[in-house]
Structures are given as C-alpha cells and as structure tokens.
A and B are shown apart, each in its own frame.
Chain A
Amino acid sequence: EPEVTQTPSHQVTQMGQEVILRCVPISNHLYFYWYRQILGQKVEFLVSFYNNEISEKSEIFDDQFSVERPDGSNFTLKIRSTKLEDSAMYFCAIRSKDTQYFGPGTRLTVL
C-alpha cells in the first residue's frame, strides 16, 4: 500500500492567516486529492490534481484555496485567509490503480 504522509499533524492559526498543508507521497503519483472533514461530519471532496493541473474542484474550493506541487514531490494545499469554519481535518489522498490511499490528515484549528 502506497504510503502518504502529511505535515503538520496539527496546525493552529489565527483567523485571517494563511496556512499551507503538505502531503508527501513516498513514491511518484500523478493523481492527488484533497478532502476535508469537519468534526463528526462526512468526508468532503475539495479538489483533484492530475499531472500538475487541477482536474476537478468542488464548490467548497473557492478562491481562498489553492494547490500546487512545487518541487515535483510535495503536494500542498494553501488557504489564503483562514476562517473559523475552515477548522477541520484535511486529508490528502493519492490514487493508485483506481484505489485511493489517504494520509493521516492535518487537523487545522482556526481561532
């Protein structure tokens, strides 16, 4: 099973601040996904990223969000100006043979 790590495991930030969440797959993959899960709620799709381009995004993924793969390995999710309602677990996933493998997640707390 492909291994996916995420950093940091927990991020606390002030409202209005920018945060960058990182996803590091162990091996090369072309397909990446970001999801968020507000405490006690379902997993919500944010964006999929294929071959260094956004392939699909949800209505949640507005102009405050951006994704990139700055060095061909790490995959980042940036939230430009965090809001209280951005507090959630953010999961990165990679796709391998039509299966998604999730990272352990980053817990974002916006104060």
Chain B
Amino acid sequence: GQQVMQIPQYQHVQEGEDFTTYCNSSTTLSNIQWYKQRPGGHPVFLIQLVKSGEVKKQKRLTFQFGEAKKNSSLHITATQTTDVGTYFCAGALDMRFGAGTRLTVKP
C-alpha cells in the first residue's frame, strides 16, 4: 500500500531560524495536503498541492510539490513561537498521513 514517510521526526530551532520538513511517498500522489496540529489540538488544513513542481506560499510558509509528485516539502522562514506544533503531510489518494514533524521553537 501507499506509504508516506516524513522527516525529520523532531526539530528544535531557535526563534528566527528556518525550518523544513520533508514528505516522501512510495507512489505517485494525485495531490498532497499539509496540516498543522498544535499541542492538544486537532489537525488544521494548511494547503493542498496538485500540480507537478507546484510551489505555494502562505506568508512565511513555502510549500513545494516534487516534479514526480512523490515528494513534498514545507519550509518556514524565520520561525516564531506561534509556529510550534506538529506538521503532517497527507497523501490525498486515501488520506494516509505521514508521521509528522514536531517543531519546537525556543524564544
């Protein structure tokens, strides 16, 4: 079955540093979605990428979808304490979630 791998599992950064999480699928994805889950909260939809090579930006967040539609990344520029949480990617074919990257930010 489809496997969605996500790395790193944890990332601890100093406030102001950049952060990147990577998502890799064993199969081609029709699209990919990114979610953020704050501690104690529920997953909140961030964005969906559909096209090969697509890049989308939301303020300090940049999302990329690989040319082969098998990998994706989320990059946060100049992290803030409000960025704390776990970031999940999900392969949209059957909504299999990656294990997530837990981001902590030291002020």
Q: Report chain A residues within 8 Å CB of B95.
A: 33, 45, 48, 100
Stretch at the interface among A10-18, A62-70, A101-109: A101-109
Tell me the A51-68 residues at the B interface (CB within 8 Å). 56
B92 within 8 A of A: yes
Q: How many residues of A contact B (CB 8 A)?
A: 18
Question: Are B96 and A45 touching (Cβ within 8 A)?
Answer: yes
**With A33-B95, A42-B88, A43-B88 in contact, do A102 and B44 touch (Cβ < 8 Å)?**
yes
Taking the closest CB of chain B, its distance from the CB of A29, in whole angstroms, is: 15
Interface centre among A42, A48, A56 (most CB of B within 10 A): A42
**With A43-B97, A99-B33, A100-B95 in contact, do A105 and B45 touch (Cβ < 8 Å)?**
no
Chain B residue with minimal CB distance to A101?
Answer: B45
Chain A, interface SS category: strand
Q: How many residues of B contact A (CB 8 A)?
A: 20
Tell me the B50-98 residues at the A interface (CB within 8 Å). 88, 90, 92, 94-98
Question: Are B45 and A56 touching (Cβ within 8 A)?
Answer: no
User: Which of B31, B41, B48, B98 touches A42 (beta carbons < 8 Å)?
Assistant: B98
Question: Are B94 and A45 touching (Cβ within 8 A)?
Answer: yes
User: Which of A42, A56, A104, A105 touches B97 (beta carbons < 8 Å)?
Assistant: A42
Q: Report chain A residues within 8 Å CB of B96.
A: 45
**With A98-B31, A98-B92, A99-B33 in contact, do A43 and B48 touch (Cβ < 8 Å)?**
no
A3 within 8 A of B: no
